[in-house]
A and B are shown apart, each in its own frame.
Chain A
Amino acid sequence: MAATMTFRDAIRQTIIQEMEHDPNVFLMGEDIGRYQGTFRVTAGLFDRFRESRVLDTPITEPGIVGIATGAAMVGLRPIVEMMTMSFSILALDQIINHAAKAHYMTGGQATVPLVIRGPGGAANQLSAQHSHSMEGWYAHVPGLKVVAPSTPADAAGLLRASIRDNNPVIFTENPGLYGVKGEVPEDLNFTLPFGKARIAREGSDLTLVAYSRMVHVCESAAEQLAVEGISVEVVDVRSLLPLDMETINASVRKTHNAVVVYEDWRSGGFGAEIAARIGEECFDDLDAPVGRVGGLNVPMPYARVLELQCIPNDQDVIAAVRKLG
């Protein structure tokens, strides 16, 4: 059985189900309770679970993540909402230097079942300080798991897996996805494994590798290229850390061409990591160097026309495909 719902509702529903399933699950974040959440992901949760389990916090990200990490070390399962992932930059010390390392430094004595979730990437004219894609930063850090789903079903399955996981998980939600609809299984135990990519579209001539909202951009490009008789496969990475190179490599070995697409700054972004691995692992199977499409290497500008210039779109992807020759 499955129900159609938005990406936003898939996340919201999964949180509710997990809070009902486990009393140790609770929420912390800025304006998530009485105000209902900036992107309304937590709408109605304050009334349902009251302030003991839906905590409106002060605007102090390091403190919030630190308290959640401490609470996780004594058995709770906090879900921290970052109003935007851009704000998690303030909490990098707590995330990287504390939450991610606690299990290792204690020799396995401490576990940190913590989820940090929130919108990551550009929304609509939020400009330079609110539009970061942070997933590549976090996927650099051993001890964290990092997921970036593109569909409501994947959001539900990966979020439930994240909440039930005993390690800190970064769960990033591109704000452009909140309104996207899709079927979501009704099974209260529906989870998706970490480190398992998904073939979003099958094809034989070329592989587009993407995650989060860029999967939809790639699907649109693939649709247009199909008209010209170019058969494009789209791999939705879903989980950046751990990363499923097996599925990506299998696709590239079949199509012999690859373009990696990501919204983050092109230089040093996570797509560069994927491209490097394809180069290392599939060199003999490639007909052309791995292509890369990323965000422009500039701070996100405000004017809509400039902002749209920065974010990769289907035409940018098609242009990169044509460059492969």
Chain B
Amino acid sequence: MAQEALEQITESPAELEKLYRQMVFIRHFEEKCNQVYRMGKAGGYLHVYIGMEATAVGWLSCLRSDDYIITAYRDHAQPLILGTDPVKIMCEIMGRQGGLSRGKGGSMHLYDLERGFFGGWGIVGGHLPLGAGLAFGSKYKGEDRVTLNFLGDGAANAGVFFETLNMAGLWDLPCIFIIENNEFAMGTRIEYHAADTELYKRGFPFGIKHERLDGMDLLQVRKDARRIIDYCRSESRPYVVEVMNYRFSGHGAADNDQTLYRTLEELEQAKLRDPIKLLEKVMIEQNLLNDEKIEAIEEEMVDEVQRIYEIADASPFPDVTEVYDNVYSDMEPEKGH
């Protein structure tokens, strides 16, 4: 990075280290999740965020603590960044009583409403109007919260996305739609699923400001995020951003043959812009990191994730009587088969 660019870094050394540690922590947490899945300790569907860390870390680190966040099923990173107890996250992923939803949700349905994290949804595109509804609620009550509404490039084709954009534009909802374009809707490359692959243009027909941004260089992500969040908060208006990132892992933990949709060469090429490596480079240039420290952090994170896993693995499964809890807020459903 040029000296000029380095001087533009507004983050303090302590902040940079915190952000770096978050990304490394997510990487190791997610690797553990894949492992947990392969060991048969987690079931269902499980989707990790490996390779995409700079997007969530960058955007969420620019929020105010009372803002709202909602996403689809690739949802482990967000609560980790927001400070949710990682043991509760791992417990939920492993279907344990100590999980965020006491084992009712699983990997795809993590929630921490106290921290503004509204999940965690499994139907592609289905959560997008919910996110706009959070923003609607803020606006209705006269609050200046902003909602980050994450979606993948696959969800950008969903009909309900267009409906939601229309209402967000119509009612000026302070909602930022962040299309994480990792180039694949599951195993279908963007050229095969989108008539126009410049997804940021989805905002245009609805009079919503829109642009395409990088999602791999954390410091650039944060610059863009600050600017756009400030705009949406002060103007109380929506925004559509297409963030270009890439997942280094499969679509889900059960995605066993990635060669069906991409080559190893392509993956290696993408890894040249590994968000962790990009930040490492800057921090080394700033004398904030060296090989020794990188290794120490790495080791610390591996141990920490192992500790989290072991606590979760020792935690009890839900009591079978809990199956009836939380169907309704004020009554039990009918019982029995």
Contacts and interface: CB of A to CB of B under 8 A. Distances in A.
Interface string A258-283: 00000000000000000000000000
Interface in A30-78: 52, 55, 57-58, 60, 62-76
Given A66-B129, A98-B123, A110-B118, A74 B163 contact: no
A57 B167 CA distance: 8
A58 B166 contact: yes
A71 B328 contact: no
B119 A94 contact: no
A168 to B, nearest CB: 10
Contacts of A109: 100-101, 111-114
Contact of A66 (B133, B328, B333): B133
Contacts of B129: 62-67, 69-70, 94
Nearest to A195: B331
A182 interface: no
B104 to A, nearest CB: 5
B316 to A, nearest CB: 15
A70 B333 contact: no
B163 to A, nearest CB: 3
Interface in A1-38: 26
B163 A62 contact: yes
A98 B109 CA distance: 11
Contacts of B133: 66-74
Contacts of A76: 136-137, 140-141
A63 B166 contact: yes
B112 to A, nearest CB: 8
A93 interface: yes
Interface in B104-151: 104-105, 109, 111-114, 118-121, 123, 126-138, 140-141
A105 B163 contact: no
Most buried by B among A66, A68, A70, A106: A70
A104 interface: yes
Contacts of A103: 326-329
B159 interface: yes
Interface in B261-318: none
Contacts of B119: 105-106
A97 B329 contact: no
A143 B111 contact: no
Interface string B38-81: 00000000000000000000000000000010100000000000
Interface in B5-48: none
Contacts of A107: 99-102, 104-105, 111, 326
Contacts of B70: 70
Interface in A99-129: 103-111
A68 to B, nearest CB: 6
A205 interface: no
Interface residues of A, number: 43
B132 A62 contact: no
B130 A62 contact: no
A70 B140 contact: no
Given A71-B140, A98-B127, A106-B113, A66 B327 contact: no
Given A67-B164, A67-B167, A106-B113, A73 B128 contact: no
A93 B126 contact: yes
Given A62-B159, A70-B134, A71-B134, A106 B123 contact: no
B325 interface: yes
A178 B109 CA distance: 41
B162 to A, nearest CB: 8
A289 interface: no
Contacts of A75: 137, 141
B254 interface: no
A160 B175 CA distance: 32
B326 A166 contact: no
A75 B136 CA distance: 11
A104 B126 CA distance: 17
A165 interface: yes
Nearest to B333: A142
Interface string B79-107: 00000000000000000000111101100
Contacts of B101: 105-107, 109
Nearest to A194: B331
B160 A63 contact: yes
Interface of A: 26, 52, 55, 57-58, 60, 62-76, 93-94, 97-98, 103-111, 142-143, 145, 165-167, 194-195, 242
19 contacts: A58-B166, A60-B163, A66-B126, A66-B129, A67-B167, A71-B134, A71-B136, A71-B140, A74-B134, A76-B140, A76-B141, A93-B123, A105-B109, A106-B111, A106-B113, A107-B100, A107-B101, A107-B111, A166-B330
| A-B CB proximity, top 9 nearest | A70-B133, A66-B129, A107-B101, A63-B163, A74-B137, A60-B163, A70-B130, A67-B133, A108-B326
